[in-house]
Structure 1
């Protein structure tokens, strides 16, 4: 199976032309960019080029990735069929990450170590946009 890659948006210029991730090294560079970026860009949306578009022209899914550079944790949501959010072992309350100046809240208990965030995004890439199984998921409540 040939993997077509991922499109990501987390910088203003990505609203016109999304960034492209074609390899696991690209995923590492993307996560590093989120971790070292501006405080108002700690979240991204990711789309698999291997998943279908709906008749409306929108993707049939959306993976949101938030990172906290200080705590070295992050959270993931995946909208596909139902809404899923990563399930963490810690609960720091609502995780607030910023996507292009807009706050994106992740429900309490969704933060996981940054290494697991990396692993999940890599799995999303190599599986062609399937739900990453390297982390636990829970139903998103909001």
Structure 2
């Protein structure tokens, strides 16, 4: 199987030097790093290098990946022509806060999914050239 290249940002030092993800093992290393992070750094922004940039020179998409090591769950958000958030109707915890570089984002209720599903979805994002993974369910958030 052929894999693309994805840039990941989740620590302050990644602003100018993102982590390059090229293999399923790299995805596992990213998820493991997030699982071991403080709550202020448990969310990553991913951009595929396989997709074109917009005229302003910025990516035309983004995949947010958050994990909660304490509860062994995570969230995903995908943005391109619309906004989508992972969906798990059996999760009733309510809104879930995740943070990237100290900036918090509230994910809608029913958005947390098992860590194994997060891993699978990020690997699919990598192998598909940056397309929205179809191995999980998605919801369109009301406010986002």
Deviations 1:34-69 (A, max 9, x none): 000222101010001111100011110011111100
Aligned pair 1:47/2:47, yes or no?
A: yes
RMSD: 1.2
SS in 2 for 1:40: helix
Q: Report if the CA contact (8 A) 2:48-2:129 is conserved.
A: yes
Deviations 1:78-112 (A, max 9, x none): 00101000001312111101110011111111000
Segments of 5+ residues of structure 2 without an aligned counterpart are: none
Number of residue pairs the alignment of both structures matches: 142
Which residue is equivalent to 1:25? 25
Q: CA contact under 8 A between 1:119 and 1:134: conserved in structure 2?
A: yes
1:74 paired with 2:74, answer yes
**Deviation of the 1:113 alpha carbon:** 0.3
TM-score by length of 1: 0.96
Query: 1:2, CA displacement in angstroms?
Result: 5.5
Q: Is the 8 A contact 2:4 2:127 kept in 1?
A: no
Match of 2:62 in 1: 62
Residues in 2 aligned to 1:75 and 1:14: alpha-carbon distance in whole angstroms: 21
In structure 1, C-alpha distance between the alignment counterparts of 2:11 and 2:5, rounded to whole Å: 19
Which blocks of at least 5 consecutive residues in structure 1 are unaligned?
none
Residue aligning to 1:99: 100
1:118 is aligned to 119
Whether contact under 8 Å (2:63, 2:77) holds in the other structure is yes
**1:15 matches 2:15:** yes
